[in-house]
Amino acid sequence: MDAVLEATVRDSRGKNEARRMRADGRVPAVLYGAAGAGDSAGKNASTAISVEPKALRKILLSESGANTLISLKLAGAGDTRVLVKAYQLDPVTHQILHADFYRIAMDKVLRITVPVTAKGEAPGVKQQGGILEYVHRQVEVECLPADIPEHIEINIGELMLHQGVRVRDVVANPKVKVITDADTMLVHVIMPKAEEVAAPAAEGAVAAAPVAPAEPEVIKKGKKEETEAKE
C-alpha cells in the first residue's frame, strides 16, 4: 500500500520564502517531472510545493525509507505517484529543511539503491571468535515501482571465518534485477583487529582544533538524476 502525502503548490521560491514556510510548520519542497511528460523537457520541469513535516518524517523513518512509493495529493492537480529524490536535514535538530520528489510511471523500470540486511548467525562469529563486517550496505537494482523491495536479504547462517557473501550469492528475485557487479563483497567474517595503542601526546601539546560551523546535511535518494533542488 502506498504512503499518502498531502502537498500544496507554493507561488514563490527563495530562501526567505523557505524560512517563512518552515515558520508556518511546513517543509518547502520541489516536485520534478511534468505530469504525463515523457521527454527530457518534461522530466526537467519542476513545481514548487510544500508538505507536512511529520507525515514526511514518518515515511522517511519507515522500513522502506526514501524508497517508499508515495501517493502525493497535490491540491488542484489530483494524485501522482512519486519517490523521494533527496532531502536536507538540520545538522543540529535533524529537522527536515527541504525535500525533492520526482514523478514516476508505474509501467517504467527504475534504477534505485536498496539496503542489505543479514539473516542468521554466522558460525565464524559464534564459534571462531570472528566479527561480521559489512563491506557494502546497499546494492543497486532495477525493477518496476510496485516491486521496489524494502531490503535485499542475505543469509549468513553458514559463514565461517574468512568467508563472505558476494552479490552473486544473493537469491534471485525474478521481479528485481541486481545491477551491482556480481563480484562485489557484501559481508564477510574477519578476525578482530589487534588494538592499537595510541602514542601518548607530547607534554604540553595542544589538542584543540578549530571547529567549522555545522552545515545542513543533504541526503540523496532514489533514481540517479543530477538535477539540483531549488527552493
Question: Pairing relation of β-strands 131-134 and 138-143?
Answer: unpaired
Name the nearest CA neighbour of 181 among 135, 129, 229, 119: 135
**Class level of CATH domain 111-190:** mainly beta
What are the cell numbers at 207? 589538542
Q: CA dihedral in degrees (27, 56, 31, 139; nearest 10)? A: 130
What SS3 state is found at 43?
A: helix
> For the chain (length 231 residues), average pLDDT per consecutive 10?
88 83 93 66 79 96 93 85 95 95 95 95 95 96 95 95 96 93 97 63 50 61 45 54
Q: What is the pLDDT of residue 43?
A: 63
Residue 11: what pLDDT? 81
Domain ranges of the chain: 3-105, 111-190
Contact between residue 143 and residue 109 where contact means Cβ atoms under 8 Å apart: yes
pLDDT of residue 50: 94
At the top level of CATH, the class of 3-105 is mainly beta
Contact 144, 130 (CB under 8 A): no
Query: What distance, in Å, lies between the first and last C-alpha atoms of the chain?
Result: 30
Which pLDDT does position 213 carry in this prediction? Answer: 56
| Bridging pattern class, strands 70-74 and 3-9 | parallel
